[in-house]
Chain A
């Protein structure tokens, strides 16, 4: 809370509760930039469509993406509008507490590198289920993996869609439903025609725009403070009290913080749309290098959002930010308007829109892969589908999933869906991650164990989130919740590991553990080492 407005801080701006802003008015610059982005990405899609003739091109961009390109694409897939606008907003209204999220969103990436990226590249073709099913029975494992994938993707998609509709309405003044339909149409177009090639390049363009926009904005803020971040923090502390520099009310219960931390850290390593990207590079070494690039880019991005948040706190003021949008999400756009005028506001607004479009395209592609590659090709058609049929089914799944995404976005209009991102991460950490790690590193993992850990992880996470304060108190407005934690990962992730291990020990099968030796060979040596 502000503790008075100290004058003489060396800045001409007085924090006010009402701010003159052009946010929400049709903005010619924003429309121009947005139009340019759509035209460019559809151009890319047209180019990519002529190169998308096989399933390998549709799902994995022909495996010719370079490590640097994939590093940017991974960053593009991961940096959502929620992290850009949300973290900047949280920092601008609470200060330090926003940093808890910034670190949480980043620390999963080293885990992806150490445990998942290279084995995944060498053992699978298009989805993470390829890896889990490698030496186990195809149908049950793929069905369970598809359940985990679709649960993660759908929840993430709902959160992104609802956020997109609200954001676009707020920024451009376009009605919510129209905004959702525009996002859905563009996302379907990218994936349907351009597959992974178009999706990859949309991510790269978006990552450049987002990182560039954030860098320019952070530089503009720091220029006012002789490029010294400490002077910026000091100005914020002088104005709003030294409390903004230290932990506040976000972490009340340590177990809540640890549970959320587990979901963020290990959920990143179980996100289907991130995992799928490792199939787009030529080999394991390229997969490894691309995570190194991505971690650096994403880390730099989160450090910049921290600067943006404090910049918005000093130049715009928490009350003014909350006056425009109670969640604080307009902090970065307001800062852009303050420092660079309506034109820069337009640019940042268009970047935020582009960000959402790119993320939902990645999500749709990974969901479509689970439906077509895992369920249709391997379960329904038992590997008998022709390449042409596989591609056709992948495209039908894309359109279907895109339409479902639009409908869900409209259905959940006005609902509090922010928790769904945390929930998606919790399912990824409790269903997808344990199955991946156990199948990669443990000889004794069995089909029954894998199915148990994936289904139990998904179901218990959904059940416990329903019983948690997040749903019972925040949404249903009940007095109390049966389950004490806001994010269930602290319970569900160990449970999924434990269940997977116990069930595997009870159902040990020689032919499944026998496959582990050749799996190890392929995992470390790649296709060239296959006996």
Chain B
């Protein structure tokens, strides 16, 4: 097999796109979770507010952190299944 120059076939662009998406989503995850932790540490009164009787903002946000974590994995899987895999197949086909 002939030696393929690094990135000549679009691998660089694909790798950069993957890094960008992975970094953005990781940053979103960090912001989401540590935002919640910082609220617990610095603003307990805010989290004690009731949304409806029995349901405090703290419980709601905690449950949302869990649900949103899962949604973020869904966003990544959606992106990867369409764009990432397609780019990969293109490079493989052309290689």
A residues with a Cβ closer than 8 A to B are: 96, 99-100, 102-104, 106-107, 109-111, 113-115, 118, 229-235, 237, 242, 245-247, 251, 253-254, 257-258, 261, 265, 285, 288-289, 291-292, 295-296, 299, 302-303, 306, 441, 517, 520-521, 524-525, 528-529, 531
B interface, over-half SS: helix
CB-contact partner of B41 in A96, A257, A292, A525, under 8 A: A257
Looking at chain A's contact residues, is the secondary structure mostly helix, strand, loop, or mixed?
helix
Instruction: Evaluate contact between A114 and B26: CB separation under 8 angstroms.
Output: yes
The answer to whether A520 touches B69, judged by C-beta atoms less than 8 angstroms apart, is: no
Residues from chain B with Cβ under 8 Å of A258 in the complex: 34, 37-38, 41
- Ordered by A's residue number, 15 sampled pairs between the chains whose C-beta atoms are within 8 Å are A102-B62, A104-B33, A106-B69, A109-B73, A110-B29, A111-B29, A114-B22, A233-B56, A246-B47, A254-B37, A254-B41, A291-B73, A303-B63, A521-B4, A524-B15
Shortest Cβ gap from B43 to chain A (Å): 9
Cβ A246 vs Cβ B73 within 8 A: no
Q: Give the distance to chain A from B6, nearest Cβ to Cβ, in Å.
A: 4
Chain A residues, CB < 8 A from B81: 285, 288
Residues in A whose Cβ lies below 8 Å from that of B18: 524
Instruction: List 14 additional A-B contacts (Cβ < 8 Å) besides A96-B47, A258-B38, A295-B70.
Output: A99-B58, A99-B62, A111-B26, A245-B58, A246-B56, A247-B48, A253-B41, A265-B30, A288-B77, A292-B73, A295-B73, A303-B63, A524-B88, A525-B88
Contact across chains for A251 and B40 when beta carbons are under 8 A apart: yes
Known: A261-B37, A441-B19. Is A529-B55 also a contact (CB below 8 A)? no
Chain A, residue nearest B43 (CB): A247
Contact between A230 and B26 (Cβ–Cβ < 8 Å)?
A: no
Contact B70 A296 (CB under 8 A): yes
CA distance A99 to B73 in the complex (A): 21
Find out whether the CB atom of B65 lies under 8 angstroms from the CB atom of A246. no
User: Which residues of B sit under 8 angstroms from A111, Cβ to Cβ?
Assistant: 26, 29
Chain B residues whose CB sits within 8 angstroms of the CB of A106 once the complex forms: 65-66, 69
Determine the chain B residues whose CB is within 8 A of the CB of A520 once the complex forms: 6, 11, 15
> Is A292 a contact of B55 with CB atoms below 8 Å?
no
When the two chains form their complex, are residues A234 and B70 in contact, meaning their CB atoms are under 8 A apart? no
- Which of these, A102, A261, A296, A531, contacts B4 with CB under 8 Å? A531
B47, B69, B74, B95, most chain A CB atoms within 10 A: B69
CB closest residue in chain A, given B55: A230
Closest residue of chain A to B48 (Cβ to Cβ) is: A246
- Give the docked Cα–Cα distance between A524 and B44 (Å): 44
Let me know if A114 and B70 touch, CB within 8 A: no
